[in-house]
Amino acid sequence: MATGPGAPAGVAEKRGAGRRHLTLTTQLAEQLPAGEDEILRVHDALDTLEQVDARLAQVVQMRYFGGYSEQEIAETLDVTDRTVQRLWLKAKLMLQAAMAA
């Protein structure tokens, strides 16, 4: 299959032509101020939250780790934006309480 200048446009598009290349690095992780203990506390708190209310944990994962907007979360979970706001607030409070313990 030809992939050079004379190749069909579909081939180049299939190979990602015109897209920005992404290089994955650990630079962000290296810049985190939290130590290993803090990361483990967050992980444990999220595990606890998931056992108590899986939907709250899902909202945290989508918003905090996935970078989803409230609207995107609402569409994914088939709820209103306001419901997502309430779930996010409740999840934050529960995580703070779990991490303080």
pLDDT tens sequence across 6-49: 555 555 555 556 665 545 454 545 555 556 777 788 888 999 99
- Among 31-35, 51-55, 72-76, 89-93, name the one with the lowest average pLDDT: 31-35
Is the pTM higher than 0.75? The answer reads no
User: Domain with 96 in it: what CATH number?
Assistant: 1.10.10.10
What is the residue range of 58's domain? Answer: 34-100
Residue 76 lies in a domain: yes
Instruction: Tell me, yes or no, whether 66 lies in a domain.
Output: yes
Q: Does the residue 57 lie in any domain?
A: yes
Is 9 contained in some domain? no
- Are 49 and 57 within 8 A, CB to CB? yes
Whether the Cβ atoms of residue 63 and residue 73 lie closer than 8 Å to each other: yes
Helix ranges (H only) for the chain are: 9-14, 27-31, 36-52, 54-60, 70-77, 81-100
Q: Is residue 1 part of a domain?
A: no
- Residue 59, C-beta contacts closer than 8 angstroms, at least 6 positions apart: 73, 77, 84, 87, 88, 91
Instruction: Count up the domains in the chain and report the number.
Output: 1
Identity of residue 40: L
